[in-house]
Amino acid sequence: MSHDTSEKLVRMANQIATFFLSQPEGVRVEGVANHINRFWEPRMRRQLFEHIDHGGEGLLPLVIQASKAIKRPVVA
């Protein structure tokens, strides 16, 4: 995955997390995970997990927490 792609995914994931940080604490993790599961195609989710698996640099803690509820695409 290119550095530009990684930066873009981090920025997008952090924007989602930033929105949900304004929500009640009990819905934040689920909200981020549901949004990514619903609107990100498998390729994007796969790239997000590649980034997380390599340390997740730049991701907000809420994204890391939500990753446990994000559907990890099957590698073909």
Whether 75 maps to a domain, the answer reads: no
Closest C-alpha to 72, from 51, 32, 42, 30: 42
Closest CA relative to residue 56, chosen from 41, 73, 68, 40: 68
Instruction: Supply the range of the domain harboring residue 36.
Output: 3-69
For residue 63, being part of any structural domain is answered with yes
Q: What is the pLDDT along the chain (76 residues), one digit of tens a residue?
A: 677 888 999 999 999 999 999 999 999 999 999 999 999 999 999 999 999 999 999 999 999 999 999 999 987 6
DSSP letter (8 states) at residue 68: G
The CA distance from 14 to 10, in Å, is 6
* pLDDT reported for residue 26: 92
**How many domains does one find in the chain?**
1
Residue 74: inside a domain: no
The answer to whether position 76 is within a domain reads no
In a domain, 26, yes or no: yes
Q: Which two tokens stand for residue 57?
A: 């640099």
Name the residue among 19, 2, 46 with its Cα closest to residue 70: 46
pLDDT (0 to 100) of residue 57:
96
